[in-house]
Amino acid sequence: MNVPIRKVASFVALLMAALLVNITWISVARTDTLNEDGRNRRVRDAEFSKNRGSILVGNTPIAQSVAGSGRFPYLRSYPQPELWSSVTGWYSYDYARSGLEQSYNQQLAGTSSSQAASRVVDILSGRQGRGANLSTTLNPAAQAAAVSALGNQRGAVVAMDYTTGEVLALVSTPTYDPNRLATVDLPAEQAAWTELLNAPEEPLKNRATREVYPPGSTFKLVTAAAALEDGMVPSTEVDAPASLRLPNSSRSMGNSTNCGGDRVTLEQALKTSCNTAFGNIGLELGADKMIEMAEKFGFNKEQTIDISAATSRFPTEIDEAQTALTAIGQFDVAASPLQIVQVAAAIANNGEMMKPYLVSTVTNRDLTVLSSTSSESLGRPISEATAQHLRDMMVATVEDGTGRPAQIDGVVVGGKTGTAQTSPDRPPYAWFVGYAEDPKVAVVAFVEDADVERDDISGGRLAAPIFKAVVEALR
C-alpha cells in the first residue's frame, strides 16, 4: 500500500473512531438531556401518545390525562386551572412544561429509571403504559383562600407547615388557564401562548418561587436575629433618630412610622418597624455579621424545593452606608416569597429550618411507591433562645404594632410587615410574613401591584389580611 492510500485510510479510521465515540457519548451521557429538550419532537410525540400520570391533592386530580381524539389518544386536562396553575404549571406540545409538570416530567411520563421494570412488563404483556401519580402536600382550603384574597392583584402567597416543611399553599397571581396550552389544536395553542406571554400582568411568571424582590422591613427579622445572636436582648436600647445620615454618603435614612422616641428597645423597633434603629443596628453589627446571618437563612444559596426556584440575594461587598440599607431590606437585597416564609418558619420552629417540599409520594399504577419525601432539616440558623425572643417580638408586633391587621381571635400570631421602596416610577411592594401556633403554619403574603394609591400601600394594610385569610382557612 502506497503512502497516500495509507494516509487516506488512517484519516477515515480516525473519522470512524470519532463517530463511534460521539455516538457512544450521545447514547450514554446525553440521553436524558436530549430527551428532556423541548425541541425534541420525537420524544414529545411519544409523550403525548401515553397516558400521563395525575397530580393529586388528596384523592382529587388537579392535572390528569383524559381520552383525546385525532392525532393523540390522550389530552392533558386541568379541572380547576385557575386555582392550581401556580403549582402544576403547563404541559404543552410546542412550549414544553413548567411547575410540577416539568420537575417530575419523567415520572409522570413513565420514563424514569425507577419505572424501568414497569415498562418491561407493559411491553411483554402488550399493555398500554401509564405514568406515575404525584401526591402533593397542598391544602385545598388554604390554596383557595390565597387565590381569593389576592384577587386581581399581582402577588404571591406561600404557606408551609414549619415543623415539617410541607407546602400547604403556593399561589402566584394573576393565575391562568393551562388548558389553553395543553390543547393539540396547535394554532389555538400558539395564540394562547402569545396572549399570555405578552399580557401586561405577566401571568406566566411564578412570583412565589421564581422571582425575587426587595423584601423591605420583613428582612428586619434577619437583622434582629443577627443582633440577638450577637448578644442583644429585646430590651436592649438602640438609637432611633428621625433621620440617620448614612456614613460617607450624602444620603439619609428616614422613618415611615413613629418609632416611639429617639432611643427605643429592640422590641419596640421591630413593633414600629423603625428604619433608623435597624440602620444603626446594621452599622453596629457590620457587614460580615449581616452577610453571615443572611446566608445562614438561605440567601445566596440555591433554593431546595421540587419546582424551579430563584436564588435570593444578599450583597457580599458592601460599605457602611450600604450595610445600613441592607439592614432594612433595601439596597441590593432581593428575596423570593418562598425565601421570606422560610425565615419565619425557622423562627417559629425553634430556630430549625426545614426543607420545603410539595410532593409527598410518587406512586406507580399498581400503587407501589416509587419515591416518598420525608421531613429534612436544612440546619439551625439561630439558637432556640434567639428564636424565642424573635417570636415574642413578632407576637408583640401583631398585638400592638404594625401587624395588627393579622390578629386572629383565639390564635397566637406573630408577624412582620414590610413595605419595600423600589423606584419613584412604580409603587412600593407590600409584604407580610408571620406564623401561627395553632395551626402550625408560616405564611408569607406579597403584593407586587395592588392598583391603589401609593400612599395606601403598606404591608399591614394590603398583605396582612391575606395572611389572616389563609391561616383562618387552615383552622
Active site (catalytic) residues: 217
- Residue with the three cell numbers 388548558: 179
Residue 221 contacts by C-beta under 8 Å, 6 or more apart in sequence? 270, 343, 344, 347, 390, 394, 416, 433
Query: CA-to-CA distance for 71 and 279, rounded, in angstroms?
Result: 63
